[in-house]
Amino acid sequence: MTSLRYYFDRNTWDKFLTEIVNKIKKRWLKKDKQQLKELELQSKKLDIERDIAYSNYTKIVDKCEKVENKIYKLNKKYTYQKKIKVKNPHYKESEAITI
């Protein structure tokens, strides 16, 4: 079985294969280098702002959950469920099964 697998895994019919290789040019324009540095700095600042905003968001969500829990507890304190017997409007005596 391994010999068949080896045969099907290999490309044996093409003489040349193409590969994609990523390369970076060595010479950049000064303007582009400066723009890249500025964008990297801006990205770092935005990451910091995002972290601050996320921490503020989590604090607000925690406060909302606490308030909702208090509301739930108060509602639960003054409400209850009671089981009562009610006549079935769709009941037919002829179809009732007696044991």
Residue 8: its pLDDT value, please?
A: 63
Does residue 2 have a pLDDT over 60? no
CA atoms within 13 A on the CB side of 5: 2
Q: Which two tokens stand for residue 91?
A: 């009941």
**Residue 24 DSSP code:** -
Residues 11 and 17 sit within 8 Å (Cβ to Cβ): yes
**Confidence grade of residue 60 (pLDDT, cut at 50, 70, 90):** very high
Average pLDDT score over residue span 13-30: 83
Q: Which residue has the higher pLDDT, 96 or 93?
A: 93
Does residue 7 have a pLDDT over 80? no
Distance CA 48, CA 56 (A): 12
